[in-house]
Copies of this chain bind each other. A is one copy, B any other.
Amino acid sequence: MSNLIETLNWRYATKRMNGEKVPVEKLAVILEAIQLSPSSAGMQPYTVFVIEDQEIKEQIQKVAFMQPQVAEASHLIVFASWTRITAEHLDQYINLIAETRGIPAESLDGFKTSITNGILSRPEEINAEWAARQAYIALGHGLVAAASEQIDATPMEGFDANGLDEILGLNEKGLHSVVIMTLGYRDTENDILASAKKVRRSQEELFVTI
């Protein structure tokens, strides 16, 4: 069995954490994996909040059905996607490509036009959903990275997104919270799921080979 598969079998949606802190070097790997996640057109249309402040975690727990792992986590990662994709976002992105690759921004005019026509011209709500989906790819990267560092991570949709937006002041920043990941260490004594067998649909059910 590959290391990766062992790693993914080790991870589970941890419902109780023991409050122990994730060391900075392990957190750094998880965040870099999130940073390196691909996204549609490469735009990374989201901002990622890395929350260690205990009071803020406890406030967020109140809009997350009081789930214990929110306050017991070492860090809470909130993926907030852009509610609108603007011409300013595109200009910043084009400049970033030009700077990174040492080429003139004008050489990217064709690419810029295709994004303007393909993405910027779509209705706002389509783009908001598009942005949210990209955040889920980054979540996938964060989850695998956490497991590879033997850090427990719980992906969570069970929270009041508007309530969380208010706590973090996301609306005024053009952001909307879409999914959370808690990071920390499993509390094996108190988490009944820690020893439960992983449930997954069989390959025969999940895959169709053509």
Interface residues of A (CB under 8 A from B): 2-5, 8-9, 11, 13, 29, 31-38, 40, 42, 44, 46-53, 56, 96-97, 100-101, 129-130, 132-134, 136-141, 143-145, 148-149, 155, 157, 168, 178-179, 196-201, 203, 206-210
User: B37, B148, B168: which contacts A4 (Cβ < 8 A)?
Assistant: B148
User: B96, B157, B196: which contacts A201 (Cβ < 8 A)?
Assistant: B96
Q: Smallest CB-CB separation from A80: which chain B residue?
A: B208
Q: Which residues of B contact A179 (CB under 8 A)?
A: 133
Q: Which residues of B contact A31 (CB under 8 A)?
A: 203, 207
Q: Smallest CB-CB separation from A144: which chain B residue?
A: B144
Q: Which residues of B contact A206 (CB under 8 A)?
A: 34-35, 44, 46-48
- State the oligomeric state as a number of copies: 2
Interface SS of A by simple majority: helix
